[in-house]
Amino acid sequence: MKLALPLKKRQSILNIFRFLNRHTKVQQEMDTTAYLMRSPANKARLLQAMKDIESGNHIFPRELNDL
């Protein structure tokens, strides 16, 4: 069964779905980060890795074929 909706209503519904999809992805990323940051040792490693990336330390370019 198809429901005929005016274009504006269809666009509104699609926009709601797009918003919910983006929100779900952001929430999943936040949940993953929170999970990884729970362990003090893991948190220290992740924060150090972020500092290394920002400062350019320990960054070695690789070719895709080398992986």
Query: Domain for residue 64, yes or no?
Result: no
CA–CA separation, 31 vs 25, rounded Å?
Answer: 10
Both tokens of 31, joined, read: 């949940």
pLDDT of residue 23: 66
* Confidence grade of residue 49 (pLDDT, cut at 50, 70, 90): confident
Judge whether 44 lies within some domain. yes
Q: Total domain count for the chain?
A: 1
Q: In this structure, is residue 62 part of a structural domain? A: no
pLDDT in tens, 15-30: 787 877 776 776 777 7
pTM: 0.44
Supply the range of the domain harboring residue 49. Answer: 7-55
Assigned domain for 63 exists: no
- pLDDT(5) > 70: no
Write out the H or E segment, with its range, that includes residue 43.
helix 40-55
